[in-house]
Amino acid sequence: MEEVVTRKLLESCHKAAEHNNMIWVCGGAANVGRIAYEVGVLLTDMDKGRMCCTSAIGAGSKAHAEIALKAMRNIVINGCGNRCASKILEGVGARIDYEVILSNYIQKIATLDVLEREVKIVAKKIIDEVRL
C-alpha cells in the first residue's frame, strides 16, 4: 500500500444517497472480489459515485439498509456468480439499478494480486454502461 499523504474526505453515505450513485461491492477474498473493491474505490475517487459498506447491511445495520433503500441509484459489483453483494441488497428489499458479475469477464482465481489494468477496464465498463 502506498503511503497516503492527503486524505480526500467523503460526504456521508446518508447525504450522498439523496443525490448520488451508491456503489456496493462484495470485496471477496479472491482476485475478482478485490477488483470489485478497487473499482468501488476508483469510481468514488473519480466522483462517479460513493462506495458504501455492503457488509454493514449484511450484518443487520438498519441505518445502512436505509441508505440503499433511498439511494438515487444502486450500482452493485459482485466478484462472482454467488452475487453476495446483490443478495445482501435484495435481502433488505433495495432496488438494484445496475449489477455486474466480474467472473463473467475475468477468471476467478485464488489470489489477491490484481492488476491496475483490470481495475481500470472494469471501471470504464461500468462508467460506459451506467453512463456515469
* Residues binding ligand SF4 (CB under 6 A): 26, 28, 30, 32-33, 78-80, 82-84
Tell me how far, at minimum, the Cβ of 29 lies from ligand SF4, in Å. Answer: 6
What type of residue sits at position 49? G
Tell me how far, at minimum, the Cβ of 6 lies from ligand SF4, in Å. Answer: 31
63 vs 57: CA distance, rounded Å: 8
Tell me how far, at minimum, the Cβ of 28 lies from ligand SF4, in Å. Answer: 2
CA 127-12-17 angle, to 5 degrees, is: 50
Please, which residue, 32 or 119, has the CB nearer to ligand SF4?
32
Please, which residue, 49 or 79, has the CB nearer to ligand SF4?
79
